[in-house]
Structure 1
Amino acid sequence: MLGCVPKRLTAGFFVVLAFVLGNAAISYRSTHKLITNEQAIAHSHQVIAELETTLSRLKDAESGQRGYLLTGDTQYLAPYVLARTQTQAQLAKLKQLIATNPGQQQQVALLEQKMTAKLEELERTIDLEQKNNFNAARNLVLSVEGRQLMNDVRQIIGEMEKNERLRLQQRAQQSQIGFRDETVTSSIATLLNVALLMLLYYLMHRYIKQRQQAEKSLREANQTLETLIQSSPLGIVALTPSGKVSLWNPAAERIIGWNNREIINQCLPILDNHQLDPHLRERILQGEAIYDIELRSYKKDGQAIAISLSTAPLRDATNQINGIMAVIADISDRYAAEQIIREQAALLDIATDAIFVQDLKKRISFWNKGAERLYGWLAQEALGKNADELLHAEPVLEISVSQEKLNTHSEWQGELRQVDKNGKQIIVASRWTLVRDAQGNPKSILVVNTGITEKKKLEAQLLRIQRMESIGTLAGGIAHDLNNVLTPILMSVQLLQMKFSDSQSQNLLNSLENNVKRGAALVKQVLSFARGFEGDRITLQARHLISEITHLIQETFPKSIELVTDISANLWAIFGDTTQLHQVLMNLVVNARDAMPNGGILSIQAKNVIIDEQCAQMNLEATVGCYVAITVTDTGVGIPPEIIERIFEPFFTTKEIGKGTGLGLATAIGIVKNHGGFVNVYSEVSKGSQFIVYLPATEGTETQTIQEGEILSGNSELILVVDDETGIREVTKLSLETYNYRVLTASNGVEALAIYTKRQNEISVVLLDMMMPSMDGAITIMTLQKMNPLVKIIAISGLISNEKIAATTGSGVQAFLPKPYTAKELLETLHSVIK
């Protein structure tokens, strides 16, 4: 029996030993799993912390970049550079932590790729801003690509956190089961032997030590997270499922205004904002992840602010949502800056001038509404285009010259010829200013252009008028002398016609008379530019004038020219000289005929028009009122642009020598202006020309002309002829004596006054030239009127008009006789004054 005890003991020992060893093995295995699981838990906590830190570093880098872009302050670049460096360090830590996990290595590799792309995108925007290309930087920031990169980063980190928390949950459950198994095993081992307890103690001690180490790591991770939360420039808020605040960092207090004691366990003010979309509020409370929602909110003191809100769900160990982590950023400064930019852009769009900005390579970066109106190009069409290529049909020398002056003086102004979207040429007054950056380096050019095309047209009209006046002054002097030469010739021919009745003499004298009259008519046209156009004006209908012209065209113009007329039935009347207006229309239709050597269409139209204020401003000669517009249009060769401004100049013609004097259009426009009207011309080479004559309309009915009666001879009345031209005195004296008048002559005003003093009671009429040396006609007339207020005077001139004589001498002049005049005209005038 005793021998069996040891055996039993031995057997029992071995059984117990086997049991203990088995239990120990089981206990050790269970404890080992527990330790391994706890290490994995600590590892998961560290991975989560590093992921969150990595995302925070990237956001810090983005915040620094946004701050720099919005303010241009380089102080924001320091946190950006630091965050960028820390982001790369965090990626290195993550790689080290997941070195044994191939799946996580793939995710980290993808994360590194996205974060690297995001950092490169941030670097590009900063580089664009430093190159003063703010619009490009802004477009890059607002692009879908930039946001998508950030969303991808958040998604990858979110998935990794989600997977890590799932592993953490699973390992926590395994740790609980292992701990329970370990306790049972330890209890059995304790009952069996002290050795098992010692072993259990050893294992427990080791486990506790490792657990403490894991807890220490967790505390450090939590402390790091807390430090990040407390020091973050972004407001970080944790909410319960009911929307109560459970975490409120200093940045949130600074942004919203409530301190920690006031806000904890209270509803988040942002969610109580009645302006918040209820659907968005519900999404937030349900734990939906929302990124960068921009909202208007209010601080504690009622101040309105703009914030950016991002949210993410908080989950418990069972992966159930038990709260919302919200990140709040104050973007009021950015909103204010954007508002200022919008207001400034609105002011620039209000401006009537074309305002745009081009870089040093002449690429357009800004284009206001004024530029759209002037050039026709919309902003989206002009931005990014080369200004020279867009606004100039061909290289312009002035551009390169102005560029050199701009580089020297930082500003330039002058006139440029440009084209609009339709290729129409325009003239602008251009002002350039060189814009420099903070370091004083040139970065862009501000251009302000004012359209002056119409102004230049008005200036051209004014210069043309001044040129016409100068030419008229010169022509007047020449015409005066020619009239003095032609007057005695014309009167002498008529006297000779009375003396020589044979056919040969009459033919020669008729030919001489016709040529003298032709010369007189030519001089009369020249003289018209100096003294204006006069004549007997009546109320008339343009319809009758056009009817006479059309009849003449049909009788004399080539059959290859087709005539088309369009005359309004209710055409207004005009007040004018029939002969002169007939001459205007004849000059226009003859020019139209000559412009169509191979035939074409000649159109004459007449209609009533009303000139308003805007139209009057476009024509110097026009005034607001009612007009009759007569339009003569041809389909001929047209007028080249380089000579169209000269066509109304006297003696300017493109016709061959002997086929035109250059007085046709000059006479026409002179007559029209004298009637208070004006002329507009439109022409295109190879397509034809259009002349529009505007004549002021008048009230009343058409005046009927009365035929004059027979001219009678004199009754021995004594006539005093005063003229400084000997030939005129002699032939006038001879003509008057032929028709039974007595004649006294004087060569100047002084001599005339002396004669009139002696024979005042005998002299019936004084025939007086207005242009004389020593004492001119006006002074002589006033002196004669003082001597005898009833004196009868006929004023003669080859230059001065009836109106000027009347204005100079008052009512003392009974009649006016223009040079050159015929004997018949002289006798008729004398008869009308004497009777």
Structure 2
Amino acid sequence: MLRSVPKRLTAGFFVVLAFALSNAAISYRSTQKLITNEQAIAHSHQVIAELETTLSKLKDAETGQRGYLLTRDTQYLAPYVLARTQTQEQLAKLKQLTADSLKQQQQIAQLEQAMSAKFAELERTIDLEQKNQFDAARAIVLSGRGKQLMEDIHQIVGEMEKSERLRLQQRAQQSQNGFRDEIVTSSVSMLLNVGLLVLLYYLIHRYIQQRQHAEESLRKANQTLETLIQSSPLGIVALTPSGKVSLWNPAAERIMGWSRREIVNQYLPIFDNQQLDRHLQARILQGEAISGVELRSYKKDGQAIAISLSTAPLRDASNQINGIMAVIADISDRYAAEQTIREQAALLDIAVDAIFVQDLENRISFWNKGAERLYGWQAREALGKNADELLHDEPALKIVVLQEKLNTDGEWQGELRQVDKNGKQIIVASRWTLVRDAQGNPKSILVVNTGITEKKRLEAQLLRVQRMESIGTLAGGIAHDLNNVLTPILMSVQLLQMKFSDTQSQHLLNSLESNVKRGAALVKQVLSFARGFEGDRVTLQVKHLISEIVHLIKETFPKSIEVVTDISPHLWTIFGDATQLHQVLMNLVVNARDAMPKGGTLSIQAENTIIDDYYAQMNVEAAVGCYVAIAVTDTGIGIPPEIIERIFEPFFTTKEVGKGTGLGLATALGIVKNHGGFVNVYSEVGKGTKFSIYLPASKATEPQPTKDSELLLGNGELILVVDDETSIREATKLSLEAYNYRVITASDGAKALKIYAKFQDEIAVILLDMMMPSMDGTLTIMTLQKINPVVKIIAISGLSSNEKIAAKTGLGVQAFLPKPCTAKDLLETLHYAIKK
């Protein structure tokens, strides 16, 4: 019996052990099933948590993007970039967690695609904002595309959460059923309880290990967060629900001036000094997220600063608000910089010059008021445009060379031809400066342009006047010599006409006289545009001249040319030479006829006008006063721009050889200038030309015409003829003797003085050439006047300018005769001088 006890005990032990092991096996299987189910539940919780975290990070990224778009403060890009990186990490975790579920993998792929599109949209708006394309960025935000993407993401996450929560519910039910079976099983046998205790111990031990690991991870995360808070350049502040400070980092101390010891458990100074209005304070304390509010605040020492304030609520595990997190940034430097920029921009707008900035791709980034005035483009129209396309009228090669020199020397200056908003060509004196960044790399180009279009036009007018004066000096000398040649010929012809009365001789002599007079007229033309030639001037009414011209046009011009006149009924009179002015109008209408070979309209207008100071300043040859303006307009072929500056040059013509001398407009200009007036011309190729003549008005009334005087003979008076040209002396002597005068001659001034000293009592008048070698006419006159203060002198010259010189020498000069002169002019002048 005693021996069987151990056996029974042993058998019982083994039976109990077997039972225990059986129960343990059953319990173990139940426990394993429970653990597996619990792991599945934990897995579902983790998937749901990761989905919510992923969605939260995406919202953080969108918040950072919105903050940057609203404030352009780059501090918002840091949370944006961090949230984007964390979102990618969350997606990777979700892929790993759902690796055994094909459906969830497909859903995550859809989520990843939608989030990629969302981030692309966020990145696009940030990129446009950085390029200052505000409207484009705003258009993307307002398009609704981002909202739709977020709704798609929410839908995918919601479907995954719904599926996971359903799975969680099922697993929870399974876990509950398994736990109930385990309790039933444990009640059967203590061994099962022991097993359960052992299993509990095991689970508790494992839990403790996991808890310790989690606490270590949390400690490290807290250390990292603390490091970030303490080293952040932004002031980071945590507040209690009542608004008191619980966290105050070093950056907050630097910005606001209060130390952590002074501020903790105190109200935030921004709230305390009422820098925030009550409505905004209430919103913050109620847990509303505020982003980038800019306001003026004060440091501890009373110094005013500008800050940017952003807040976000702190929530506990139950999602209840247990504090307001605030981020403070000092933006005083930015405000100061913006104020400086505004002041500089105001100064640039005051400048008269056009000042603008263009980047290295020639896009305009700054445009001042001076540029608006010069070019006509408003700043909103010019900004962002290509400067070359908007302004330049220069060849592309010149612009390339200019930019190469700018890159080499860092600056360039010179003249450029450009166009304004209306396409009008303008000339500017331009200064370009290459602007570099802090690293010395080219950044942009500063351009300062001064409009010099009017200046260049005035310079061209002045050069034309100077050129005409130079040509006039040369032409005057030639005209003098030609007059000396023509004078004896004309006098000799007139003497021969008296001697030979047969028809053949008279015909030849008349032809010779006509050609000599034509030559004299040609010389007078040259003198009229070169030096100015004053003929017989009287008070004239322009409408009579125009009437004569119109009558001549209708008689001789082609019928295909229509003549239109517009003459003011109350035109002022002018003081001038009718023959010369007739010649001016004839030259203009003939040119107009030639410009309309296929016909057209020829208009002649005349009106009164007054030239003011402004107009006189814009036209070198104009003076302030009253004028009669005559306009001759045609609808012909027009004058090309490259030719119009030369049309008044003598001998310049575009007509074929034999059809024009090039003296018509030059003569017209000379006559008008000699009358104290000026000429303007405007022409467009293919549209026609308009010549405007301005003649000074006269207050005198128009005189009545007088009859020509008859030829007068001498009474044997002795005339002293002084001229260095032998032919002129002899021809003049023969002419005067033929008309009953006695003549004595001298070849220069010195001989004339000797002769006059000898025959002073007999000499009635002295005919004196003004231009002689050794002793010229002026000195001879002055010396003769010393001998006899009442000596009678008739000055003779081939240059009309010598008439003025002779008139200034004294009362002894009775008259002036231009070379060549007819016998009638000579006899009438002698008769006038003798009787005076």
The TM-score, its normalising length taken from structure 2, stands at: 0.78
Moved more, 512-521 or 300-309: 300-309
Q: Report deviation, 1:632.
A: 0.7
What is the DSSP-based 3-state SS (H/G/I as helix, E as strand, rest coil) of the residue aligned with 1:643? helix
Match in the other structure for 1:330: 330
Are the structure 2 counterparts of residues 353 and 826 from structure 1 closer, same or farther at C-alpha, using a change threshold of 3 Å? same
1:468-524 CA-partner distances (Å, limit 9, x unpaired)? 222222211221121112212222233333334444443333333222222211111
Match in the other structure for 2:314: 314
- 1:442-481 aligned within 5 A: 442=442, 445-481=445-481
Match in the other structure for 2:714: 714
Is 2:731 aligned against 1:736? no
Match in the other structure for 2:5: none
Q: Report deviation, 1:669.
A: 0.7
Q: Report deviation, 1:693.
A: 1.0
What is the DSSP-based 3-state SS (H/G/I as helix, E as strand, rest coil) of the residue aligned with 2:236? strand
What is the DSSP-based 3-state SS (H/G/I as helix, E as strand, rest coil) of the residue aligned with 2:767? strand
Match in the other structure for 1:524: 524
Match in the other structure for 2:615: 615
Match in the other structure for 2:363: 364
Q: Report deviation, 1:814.
A: 1.6
1:148-192 CA-partner distances (Å, limit 9, x unpaired)? 9999999999x999x99xx9xx99xx9xxx9xx9xxx9xxx9xx9
What is the DSSP-based 3-state SS (H/G/I as helix, E as strand, rest coil) of the residue aligned with 2:97? coil
Is 2:769 aligned against 1:769? yes
Give distance in 2, aligned partners of 1:532 and 1:333. Answer: 72
Match in the other structure for 2:514: 514
Q: Report deviation, 1:719.
A: 1.3
Are the structure 2 counterparts of residues 142 and 499 from structure 1 closer, same or farther at C-alpha, using a change threshold of 3 Å? closer
Q: Report deviation, 1:241.
A: 5.2
1:271-304 CA-partner distances (Å, limit 9, x unpaired)? 5777867655554344333333444444444444
1:374-406 CA-partner distances (Å, limit 9, x unpaired)? 455555665666555555568444344445544
Q: Is the 8 A contact 1:531 1:801 kept in 2?
A: yes
Are the structure 2 counterparts of residues 651 and 70 from structure 1 closer, same or farther at C-alpha, using a change threshold of 3 Å? farther
Give distance in 2, aligned partners of 1:461 and 1:537. Answer: 28
Q: Is the 8 A contact 1:430 1:450 kept in 2?
A: yes
Q: Report deviation, 1:349.
A: 4.7
Q: Report deviation, 1:414.
A: 3.5
- How many equivalent residue pairs? 782
Q: Is the 8 A contact 1:357 1:447 kept in 2?
A: yes
Are the structure 2 counterparts of residues 209 and 657 from structure 1 closer, same or farther at C-alpha, using a change threshold of 3 Å? closer
Q: Which amino acid aligns with 2:470?
A: S
Give distance in 1, aligned partners of 2:698 and 2:304. Answer: 69
Match in the other structure for 1:666: 666
Q: Is the 8 A contact 2:795 2:806 kept in 1?
A: no
Over the matched positions of the two proteins, sequence identity in percent amounts to: 70
What is the DSSP-based 3-state SS (H/G/I as helix, E as strand, rest coil) of the residue aligned with 2:671? helix
Are the structure 2 counterparts of residues 226 and 65 from structure 1 closer, same or farther at C-alpha, using a change threshold of 3 Å? farther
Is 2:252 aligned against 1:252? yes
1:196-248 CA-partner distances (Å, limit 9, x unpaired)? 99888998787677666656655554554444333332223344555554443
Are the structure 2 counterparts of residues 86 and 289 from structure 1 closer, same or farther at C-alpha, using a change threshold of 3 Å? closer
Give distance in 1, aligned partners of 2:73 and 2:203. Answer: 60
Q: Is the 8 A contact 1:562 1:600 kept in 2?
A: yes
Give distance in 1, aligned partners of 2:416 and 2:703. Answer: 53
Q: Is the 8 A contact 2:596 2:637 kept in 1?
A: yes
Are the structure 2 counterparts of residues 781 and 500 from structure 1 closer, same or farther at C-alpha, using a change threshold of 3 Å? same
Give distance in 2, aligned partners of 1:782 and 1:557. Answer: 54
Q: Is the 8 A contact 2:532 2:800 kept in 1?
A: no
Q: Is the 8 A contact 2:358 2:366 kept in 1?
A: no
1:88-135 CA-partner distances (Å, limit 9, x unpaired)? 47854784489537699679947974797599779979xxxxxxxxx9
What is the DSSP-based 3-state SS (H/G/I as helix, E as strand, rest coil) of the residue aligned with 1:805? helix
Give distance in 2, aligned partners of 1:707 and 1:70. Answer: 97
Q: Is the 8 A contact 1:721 1:744 kept in 2?
A: yes
Q: Report deviation, 1:729.
A: 1.4
Which consecutive residues of structure 2, in runs of 5 or more, have no partner in the other structure?
A: 1-19, 99-103
Q: Is the 8 A contact 2:357 2:367 kept in 1?
A: no
Q: Is the 8 A contact 1:469 1:529 kept in 2?
A: no
Match in the other structure for 1:100: 97
Is 2:292 aligned against 1:292? yes
Q: Report deviation, 1:259.
A: 3.8
Are the structure 2 counterparts of residues 39 and 688 from structure 1 closer, same or farther at C-alpha, using a change threshold of 3 Å? closer
What is the DSSP-based 3-state SS (H/G/I as helix, E as strand, rest coil) of the residue aligned with 2:666? helix
Q: Report deviation, 1:778.
A: 0.9
What is the DSSP-based 3-state SS (H/G/I as helix, E as strand, rest coil) of the residue aligned with 2:608? strand
Are the structure 2 counterparts of residues 91 and 229 from structure 1 closer, same or farther at C-alpha, using a change threshold of 3 Å? farther
Match in the other structure for 1:642: 642
Match in the other structure for 2:595: 595
1:620-659 CA-partner distances (Å, limit 9, x unpaired)? 1123333322111011222222221111111222233333
Q: Is the 8 A contact 1:70 1:337 kept in 2?
A: no
Q: Report deviation, 1:606.
A: 1.8
What is the DSSP-based 3-state SS (H/G/I as helix, E as strand, rest coil) of the residue aligned with 2:641? coil
Match in the other structure for 2:546: 546
Q: Report deviation, 1:816.
A: 0.6
Give distance in 2, aligned partners of 1:261 and 1:811. Answer: 112
Are the structure 2 counterparts of residues 535 and 110 from structure 1 closer, same or farther at C-alpha, using a change threshold of 3 Å? same
Pairwise CA RMSD of aligned residues?
5.2
Match in the other structure for 2:760: 760
Q: Report deviation, 1:595.
A: 1.9
Match in the other structure for 2:697: 697
Give distance in 1, aligned partners of 2:278 and 2:811. Answer: 95
Q: Which amino acid aligns with 2:797?
A: S
Q: Report deviation, 1:320.
A: 4.4
What is the DSSP-based 3-state SS (H/G/I as helix, E as strand, rest coil) of the residue aligned with 2:565? strand
- 1:496-515 aligned within 5 A: 496-515=496-515
Q: Is the 8 A contact 2:638 2:689 kept in 1?
A: yes
Q: Which amino acid aligns with 2:641?
A: P
Give distance in 2, aligned partners of 1:293 and 1:160. Answer: 33
Are the structure 2 counterparts of residues 593 and 107 from structure 1 closer, same or farther at C-alpha, using a change threshold of 3 Å? closer
Match in the other structure for 1:535: 535
Moved more, 688-697 or 496-505: 496-505
Match in the other structure for 2:833: 833
What is the DSSP-based 3-state SS (H/G/I as helix, E as strand, rest coil) of the residue aligned with 1:519? helix
Is 2:682 aligned against 1:682? yes
